[in-house]
Structure 1
Amino acid sequence: MLRPALILLAIILAGPLPALAEGCNPPQALRFAPGSSGGEARGAVPPGMPDCLTVTARAGQVLEANISGSGRNAVFQLYPPGWRVRRDQFGGVDVSNQMLTPPDANKLRVTLPADGTYLFVIGAIRGGTDYTLRVTIR
């Protein structure tokens, strides 16, 4: 989850609340090319409204991810299988599972703890941002 104070500030500055970010309802799957161990997603997030992407992997695989965006503003959180996404009281998203990352990660290397579908929640430290998320699973 993005820091609550930053979400609230972004929403106040952005004006009326839009609907839940389309990219999180439902989350979109990040696809890898056949035979490839990695993939890339590009997009943009408005203030306070994250995108959500999923990847499916097995326990013991190593996931590496990094994100870039204008002004080094793009960040992500990764959640293990069992997550649920819902709209929170501020108009952003609330995820019902423990994060595998710090709240505002821009890179990660982790051995995955379980088989299943993992959730990336992509946002911005301040305002909105464009992003490129690169993920490799081996």
Structure 2
Amino acid sequence: MKKINILLILLFVFTSVLSVNAQVTNKRIKFKKGESSATIESSVIRGDRDTYLVGANKNQAMIVTIMSIEDNAVFQIIDRETGYYLDGAGEIDDAKRWEGSLPSKGDYEIIVGGTRGNAEYTLKVFIE
């Protein structure tokens, strides 16, 4: 009985440490006046995600690209109106480029992560 309690305590401590280490950064992308694109240079630590919010109108065209020196930065895009990933930028896609017409008016989440190790990246978002 004592061993089970110790194991449960260790499991709790271990999962608490993991959830503290996995951090999410949320940032709003704002375009400069008169511009339709924005470039973000940043880095993400292994296991973490950077989340960017960008607002757009239904049927606007959007292009998102990501580049990294080690070719290990990828993104996903979620339509916050529907809660669904955009085709080609879902959880299993590991997108490096996405282009298409937006299905809803409102915010979109661009979630950046690394496929291996830490990732320095340049994210470009264009909305027309």
Q: Give your verdict on TM over 0.5.
A: yes
Q: 1:36 Cα shift? A: 0.3
* Greater fraction helix: 2
Residue type at the aligned position of 1:115 = K
Aligned twin of 1:98: 84
Structure 1 segments, 4+ long, off by >3 Å, are none
> Is the Cα contact below 8 Å between 1:65 and 1:133 reproduced in 2?
yes
Q: Distance in 2 between matches of 1:104 and 1:22?
A: 18
Q: Distance in 1 between matches of 2:69 and 2:96?
A: 13
Aligned twin of 2:7: none
Distance change >3 Å, CA 126–CA 20, structure 1 → 2: closer
SS at match of 1:72: coil
Q: Which runs of 5+ in 1 are unaligned?
A: 1-15, 84-96
Q: CA RMSD in A?
A: 1.5
Q: Which runs of 5+ in 2 are unaligned?
A: 1-16
> Is the Cα contact below 8 Å between 1:81 and 1:115 reproduced in 2?
no
Q: Distance in 1 between matches of 2:49 and 2:24?
A: 9
Scaled by the length of structure 1, what TM-score is found?
Answer: 0.72
> Is the Cα contact below 8 Å between 1:42 and 1:133 reproduced in 2?
yes
Residue type at the aligned position of 2:70 = G
Q: Distance in 2 between matches of 1:98 and 1:22?
A: 19
Aligned twin of 1:33: 32
Q: Number of matched residues?
A: 107
Aligned twin of 1:112: 102
Scaled by the length of structure 2, what TM-score is found?
Answer: 0.77
Q: 1:98 Cα shift? A: 2.0
Considering only CA atoms, is the larger Rg found in Structure 1 or Structure 2?
A: 2
* Greater fraction strand: 2
